[in-house]
Amino acid sequence: MLEVSNIDVYHGDLKALWNISFQLNEGEVVALIGSNGAGKSTLLETIAGLLIPAAGSVVFDGIRLDRKPSQRIVQLGVSLVPEDKGIFPYMSVLENLELGAFNKRGRRLKDETLKLVYGLFPILKDRGSQPAGTLSGGEQQMLAVGKGLLSRPKLLMLDEPSMGLAPLVIRNIFEAIYQINRIGVSILLVEQNVRIALSIANRAYIIENGRIVHHGDSKNLLTDEKVRHAYLGTLSI
């Protein structure tokens, strides 16, 4: 479904991604894990069209995404919930969700998707008229995921949805992500919280210094000595 081949990405003169290749099959949850500054967010932003790769290609459902404007990419069914949540702080919660549905497909299915989102996060319905900036961190993350869903993506990309949140809220959000995947939306997940990422993902890629250094099924990675040592904080004696 998503095929990223040999992409190089620069931030100005600085090379951030080196020859990255990976794929995601329809219906999968794939996690990208790695430490801070490894290039995970850069990779998602490149797929979403905010950055243009210097080399390589990004293909989604047989269509080249690289060099397409981001609104086209949303229209094609790829939606990114960025690390800073990408919400409009002075607009109401409902207006945020409405803008999430800005593309044609999203607008047509808006009422139906709203029901779905309110089912996942009932609090968003209660807070509908409140400015988004006044929500708590957890509620803002729920709004961000809900807003991403309103574009009716086939692939939903989530950048650090657990960041800065209490464990209970994290569980709540990951339960929702699981539900979203169940209704047929593929998920590409960037996480520093490796344990929770691997608990939900089918497969994972490990990125270090802008390169993919390891990949495999989540089950195998959880028991992999190197991964345990580097990312799960368990000493291997």
Partner 1 sequence: MFKFLAQTFVNGINVGALYGLAAVGLSLIFGVMRILNVAHGEFLMIGGYIGFWLFTLYGLDPFMGLPLVAIFLFLFGAVFYKVVFARVARFHEELKLKNSLLIGFGLYLIFPQIAMVLWTSDERAISPVYSGKAFGILGLRFGYVPLGGILVALIVIIALQLFLTKTYFGKSLRGTAENWKAAKLSGIDIDRTFMITFGLGISLAGLAGVLIGLIQELTPVMGIPWTLKALVVVVLAGMGSIGGAFIAGLILGIVEAVSAIFMGPYTIAIGMLIFLIILMVRPQGLFGRT
Binding-site ranges for partner 1 (CB under 8 A): 48-50, 69-71, 74-75, 79-82, 86-91, 95, 98-100, 102-103, 106-107, 147, 151
CA distance 87 to 100: 9
Whichever of 50 and 123 has its CB closer to partner 1, that residue is 50
In whole angstroms, the minimum distance from the beta carbon of 1 to partner 1 comes to: 19
Measuring CA to CA, which residue among 143, 132, 149 is closest to residue 89? 132
Whichever of 86 and 216 has its CB closer to partner 1, that residue is 86
In whole angstroms, the minimum distance from the beta carbon of 226 to partner 1 comes to: 34
Output the CA angle 192-225-199, nearest 5 degrees.
45
CA distance 228 to 221: 8
Whichever of 93 and 212 has its CB closer to partner 1, that residue is 93
Q: Are 103 and 178 in contact (CB under 8 A)?
A: no
Structure tokens at 196: 């929770």
> In this structure, which amino acid lies at residue 8?
D
In whole angstroms, the minimum distance from the beta carbon of 109 to partner 1 comes to: 13
Whichever of 91 and 222 has its CB closer to partner 1, that residue is 91
Q: Cβ neighbours of residue 33 under 8 Å, at least 6 residues apart?
A: 40, 190, 191, 192, 194, 197, 198, 204, 205, 206, 207, 231
Whichever of 91 and 200 has its CB closer to partner 1, that residue is 91
In whole angstroms, the minimum distance from the beta carbon of 211 to partner 1 comes to: 26
**Locate tokens 């339960």: which residue?**
175
**Locate tokens 């931030």: which residue?**
11
In whole angstroms, the minimum distance from the beta carbon of 75 to partner 1 comes to: 6
Whichever of 91 and 169 has its CB closer to partner 1, that residue is 91
Measuring CA to CA, which residue among 1, 13, 21 is closest to residue 210? 21
Structure tokens at 217: 């099924």
In whole angstroms, the minimum distance from the beta carbon of 48 to partner 1 comes to: 6
CA distance 237 to 6: 37
In whole angstroms, the minimum distance from the beta carbon of 187 to partner 1 comes to: 16
Whichever of 180 and 206 has its CB closer to partner 1, that residue is 180
Q: Specify which residues 15 forms β-bridges with.
A: 10
